[in-house]
Amino acid sequence: MSNQIKKKLYQACEAFLNERLSALQDIIINVQESLQSETKSSAGDKHETGRAMLQLEREKAGKQLEALQQQQELLAKVSI
């Protein structure tokens, strides 16, 4: 495979991972802000369910971020 094609593929992978990273960071920020803005209400269970869903979303985004960082590390090891 020519070096030019390898470079283009590498750059495309890098751009894709960077876009995913940016999107995940936005999700994490939004979830954090939502968790912070959640106030105790008289709804009780409804409030707790909302918080639990936000916490699950934060955990999911955290796992995706971890996987993405591993992919970036793997990509960094690729020689072009």
* Per-residue pLDDT at 41: 56
Kindly compute the dihedral angle of the four CA atoms of residues 39, 44, 47, 53, in this order, to the nearest 10 degrees: 140
Asked if 24 contacts 68 with a C-beta cutoff of 8 angstroms, the reply is: yes
Count of structural domains within the chain: 1
CA pair distance 64, 51, nearest whole angstrom: 20
Phi, psi (5° rounding) for residue 79? -95, 135
- 8-55 pLDDT, tens digit per residue, is 999 999 999 999 999 999 999 999 999 888 765 545 666 688 889 999
The residue range of the domain holding 25 is 3-76
Q: Is the pLDDT of residue 71 over 80?
A: yes
| DSSP label of 78 | -
Strands (E), the chain: none
pLDDT class of 79 with cuts at 50, 70, 90: confident
What's the confidence (pLDDT) of residue 50? 84
